[in-house]
Amino acid sequence: MTQNTSPALPQSVLDATDVSTITQLILTERESRDLGRWDEMRDCFYPDSHVRISWFTGNGHDFVEGSKDMARRQVLAKHRLGPVRVRLAGDRAVASLVGIIDIPGTAHGVDVMLSSQARFLYPAERRNGRWGLMGFYGIYMCDAMNAVVPGQQVVIPPAELTGFRASYRMLSWMLASQGYVVNHEMPGEDLPATGEALFNDLFNWAGIRR
């Protein structure tokens, strides 16, 4: 009998494979969201995952249903994504990246494009050899809304922005105008301690030392 004498792969190679797998999982989730590939998006999340963003709180599978409903209502968000950083801790990991959410719409009769910048956090876990997402969270940074046609002016009465947070003020206004109930207690750069607390919670869950 011939014994297998192949050397074990170095831990650095195994870690690089995990990082690549988690990165592709996140990119698949966001691309599927933008392209309306709902089954593919759902497969990225474990059933007991948790999602908490400006307009939704619940598990990952219900988040997919909420995203489907948003598309049916013609709130057609698309995402521009920065590089993904993955922090590994055995069978758990936390990934982070900066993304820009682009949403076309109208503001008092003017065609506009909202661009909201946020840091996305994804906890992930390996179960039975498969990585899946355990959640999706946002730390809101800043946003802006501009007229699509150069030369047009967007005018929103200040009273319509009362109570909206600086880090996602225009996103809140647009979502509210579409009938969504906005969570005004999201982590944001206007309240730095909230983002730090979210990082700490996820790192503690994964067993990651900062």
E-assigned strands of 13-159? 45-53, 56-58, 78-81, 85-89, 92-107, 110-127, 130-147
DSSP 8-class letter at 202: H
Mean pLDDT score across all residues of the chain: 96
| Alpha carbons 104 and 66: distance in angstroms, whole number | 18
| Alpha carbons 139 and 120: distance in angstroms, whole number | 6
Q: Is the per-residue pLDDT at 105 higher than 90?
A: yes
Please give the backbone phi and psi of residue 28, each rounded to the nearest 5 degrees, phi first: -65, -45
pLDDT digit string, tens, across residues 24-76 = 999 999 999 999 999 999 999 999 999 999 999 999 999 999 999 999 999 99
Contacts of 80 (CB under 8 A, 6+ apart): 99, 100, 102
pLDDT digit string, tens, across residues 124-160 = 999 999 999 999 999 999 999 999 999 999 999 999 9
CATH number of the domain located at residue range(s) 11-196 in this protein: 3.10.450.50
> Which among 209, 55, 210 is positioned nearest to 136, based on CA atoms?
55
First to last CA, the chain: 48
| Alpha carbons 52 and 107: distance in angstroms, whole number | 26
| Alpha carbons 189 and 210: distance in angstroms, whole number | 19
pLDDT digit string, tens, across residues 157-187 = 999 999 999 999 999 999 999 999 999 999 9
| Alpha carbons 162 and 168: distance in angstroms, whole number | 12
pLDDT at 8: 86
pLDDT digit string, tens, across residues 65-83 = 999 999 999 999 999 999 9
Please give the backbone phi and psi of residue 137, each rounded to the nearest 5 degrees, phi first: -135, 155
DSSP 8-class letter at 10: P
| Alpha carbons 142 and 57: distance in angstroms, whole number | 21
